[in-house]
Amino acid sequence: MFSQPQSEHEWLEQLVGEWKFEHECSMPDGSINQAEGNMTCRTLNGMWLLSESSGESEEGAWSSLMSIGFDPKLGHYVGTFIGSMMANIWHYQGCLDESKTRLQLAAEGPKFEGEGTAHYRDTIIVVDENTWRMTSEMQTDEGEWVQFMSGKHTRV
């Protein structure tokens, strides 16, 4: 009954620890929102990565929780994201690239404008043992992917 960690779960272990981050988000109205804060990443017995973040931006204080695991039956990464700044839950599905340095997580959620939904993707890019980056993109109605967030995470 108990699942055992796979190599895909082990990949997530490199994100375990205490991190400082700086994020820059380009809003649809053209404004740039800067955020910084702290993140704690831990695992549930090597099966799930839990990342809890808190930070400050020009809009105020916020916190979030991201979970990522690997489902061997589905053959891909799965996860969720919730934040104090939004009412929806994001459901992730994703995979590693061939270099095993990028984990791309796809989701569907509300458009920035508030009408309808859009496809999104968050990408975790491992730079080295003490640094990783995260980007967030949204697909436009024309099918183009537009990056709206970029963040750097540095081990504390």
**pLDDT tens-place string over residues 29-86:** 788 989 999 999 999 999 999 999 999 888 889 999 999 999 999 999 999 999 998 9
The residue that leads in pLDDT, 44 or 115, is: 44
pLDDT at residue 27, as a whole number: 79
CA distance 25 to 148: 5
Read out DSSP for 111-134? -TTSSSEEEEEEEEEEEETTEEEE
User: Which residue type is seen at 24?
Assistant: E
pLDDT at residue 112, as a whole number: 83
- For the chain, list the domains and their CATH numbers: 7-155 (2.40.128.20)
CA distance 100 to 12: 11
CA distance 137 to 133: 13
